[in-house]
Every structure is written in structure tokens, then in C-alpha cells.
Amino acid sequence: MCDESERHRQDNRSPALHFEMVRRRPAASLAGIVTDICGYREILPGHFSIVEYASLTVPLVISFAEAFAIGLGHEPGDNDLYASFAAGLYAGPVIIKSFGGACCVQVNFTPLGARQFFGLPMSELRDRMVGLDDALGFDGIVLREQLGEASDWHKRFDIAEGYITRRLAQARALSPEVAWAYRTVVASGGRTRISALAGEIGWSRKHLAAKFTDAIGIGPKTLSRIVRFNRALSLSKQKDDDWAGIAADCGYADQAHLVREFRQLAGETPTGLAALM
């Protein structure tokens, strides 16, 4: 395992370093379940804001300090403060603000891994943040105390990995049909036809959508949209913003279709988003 320390700049204009981030790649036994574990600590006072775009990450955030202000598709308000929580998939931009006093551990799950770890229908987390005690029960409170008392990031990561491993040992197995369908959509770049998936499994489209929503939190059509969007965003870094070509490569009907999807999933036009990255 490797802990990688990073210090990030407030923005491209300021040399002031405002937070520390330490990231660990999980143990091989958690492959396909957890993508990474991060430690985050703000080291200067200030008012900071980032936007996260539609992704296939299901985060578990365990905080030891100030809460974050989080808005799903909108600027967060006074009632949008969250400290320790789990968040399901959301097909849109997420605006996150902090105020210079945040400190937390974040575990990033894959959608399939999240269903096993949390042991509840992921539709209960979709489009929302759920408090740690509601997501994990009393275990979550104990875990937060243990992480908060640990003396450094390395020990915190060990504690988190140990807890995840023990919880997964008691988890129910995923539906092999849903797991196969999910991986097929991702591997195809979101271009697999949903009717073909259902036919291959021997299910109706309605039954596939219901099973998907339970396991992933979203249906296969929405999953395909998020996968296509992220592939298009990745290709934009290689193709010098050839959006017509990217639209064709990613299976959009045309460039206008790609633009509409970017607006819905990122809150930006393709060129506007490329300029921010």
C-alpha cells in the first residue's frame, strides 16, 4: 500500500497552499470495491469552493471538524451543511464549499462495492446525503471516534480498511446478472443497448431497471449517460476539443446532444468545462 501526500494550491493565481491531501490505494482484497481512501485537512482559513461532475463514485465522508456545505445541482444554502455522511450517485454537478476548518477521511466506493458495503438498496442514497449514523448505525459512530483518535493518516487508513474488510465479510453477494450488466455498460463506454443487456440476461427491460436501481441507485440508461459523459471528457484532453468527433466516438446523436448532456451532468458547456480543467 502507498500513501501519497499532496499539497494543493488555492487556485491558479495564488501561491497560498490551503489544504493537505493524503491518498491511499486500497489493498488488493478491496479491488473493485474501493477505488481510494483520502485524508483531507484544510490548513489556512478561507472560503473554498469546488464543483464535482457526475461520476460513478459513492463517497463515505467521516469528519472530525467543520462541516461542508453541499448542493446537488445548486449553490448550497444554510440548510445544506454535512459533516459525516454517505452520498449516492447523482446525475448532475455537485457544488461543495468549505470554510478553512475541514478535516476528514473519505472512502470512495465503486457502485457495486457500495451496495455490498452499505447493505441497503442504493436507491436510498441516490441524489442525497445520508448521515453516518443512518448509513452505518452505531458502528459508524464508533468508527468516527476511532479515526478521530488515531495519531496520523496512515493509522486512520489502516482502521478504515480493517472496518471495510470486516463489514464486507458479512455482506450478501451481489446479483451476478446485475454485476455483469454494470461492467458491460462501463466497458462499452456507455454504448451498449439496454434491450441487448436485458435480452442477454433473459430479463425484461423493466426487471433489469428495477434490479439496477436497487444495486446501483440508478437505472442502466442513466448509468450509460454518466459513462459516456466521462469518456467524452477524457477524450477532450486527447482530441484538442474536437467536440463533433468526440460526440461521434462516444455514441451521441450529434454535437448538440453532447452539449445538452454536458449541461445536465456538469452544469457547463463542453468548451466551458474544458476551460476549467
Q: What is the pLDDT of residue 47?
A: 87
Mean of the pLDDT values across residues 163-176? 94
Q: What is the pLDDT of residue 238?
A: 81
Q: pLDDT tens-digit profile of 136-160?
A: 999 999 999 999 999 999 999 999 9
- DSSP helix/strand/coil, 164: helix
Cell numbers representing residue 143 in the block: 468508527
Whether the CB-CB separation of 46 and 96 falls below 8 Å is answered with no
Q: What is the pLDDT of residue 153?
A: 95
Give yes or no for residue 276 having a pLDDT over 90.
no
Whole-model pTM: value is: 0.91
Q: pLDDT tens-digit profile of 82-141?
A: 999 999 999 999 999 999 999 999 999 999 999 999 999 999 999 999 999 999 999 999
Distance, CA of 3 to CA of 113 (rounded, Å)? 22
Q: Which positions ≥6 away from 180 have C-beta within 8 Å?
A: 201
Q: What is the pLDDT of residue 4?
A: 54
pLDDT category at 1 given cuts 50, 70, 90 is very low
